Amino acid sequence: MGMVKQITPVSLEHPAASPALQALGKRLRAARRRRKITQEAMARRVGVSTPTLSKLESGVPTICLATMIRVLAELNLLDDLDKLVADDRPGQEIQAASDKLKREVLDAQIAALWAGERHPRAAAPPVRGKQ
């Protein structure tokens, strides 16, 4: 028989993810408890086992995102999900800076063309018959 390739487990935890997932799990548990819903009842409602729901509420990173969405829907908190990345200020700032740089480069290239110059990185065309 051939050799079985050993697979090294991949860490699913990012240093920032663990505290965030634990905090989210605590908030989900608190929301469920405020509604007087047991773990068993919530697990049945969202179609998962009680241990799976417990893992979600403990911040275990291997729980399926769809499970969290079903729990949010059951708790009538699905609208909160839309707020997660609705206002991506860092991304908008990066995009604005990139767009500005592109405009500046394009403006410089157009100015160089109007001045009769070639783009600084463009090579001169080869002259036929001369080496």
Instruction: Return the structure tokens found at 51.
Output: 């241990």
The pLDDT value recorded for residue 121 is 59
What digits encode the pLDDT tens for the residues 22-64? 999 999 999 999 999 999 999 999 999 999 999 999 999 899 9
Superfamily of domain 17-81: lambda repressor-like DNA-binding domains (1.10.260.40)
What digits encode the pLDDT tens for the residues 71-117? 999 999 998 888 887 888 888 899 999 999 999 999 988 888 888 76
d(CA 111, CA 115): 6
Instruction: Return the structure tokens found at 80.
Output: 């909160």
Q: How confident is the model at residue 15 (pLDDT cuts 50, 70, 90)?
A: confident
Q: What is the DSSP string of 92-106?
A: HHHHHHHHHHHHHHH
Helices 17-34 and 50-58, packing angle to 10 deg:
120
Does the CA dihedral 41-44-47-51 come out positive or negative? positive
Tell me if 53 sits within 8 A of 43, measured CB to CB. yes
- Comparing 5 with 8, the larger pLDDT belongs to 5
The pLDDT value recorded for residue 73 is 95
Q: What burial class does residue 102 get, using C-beta atoms within 10 Å of its C-beta: 0-12 exposed, 13-18 middle, 19+ buried?
A: exposed
Segment 2-31 shows an average pLDDT of: 77
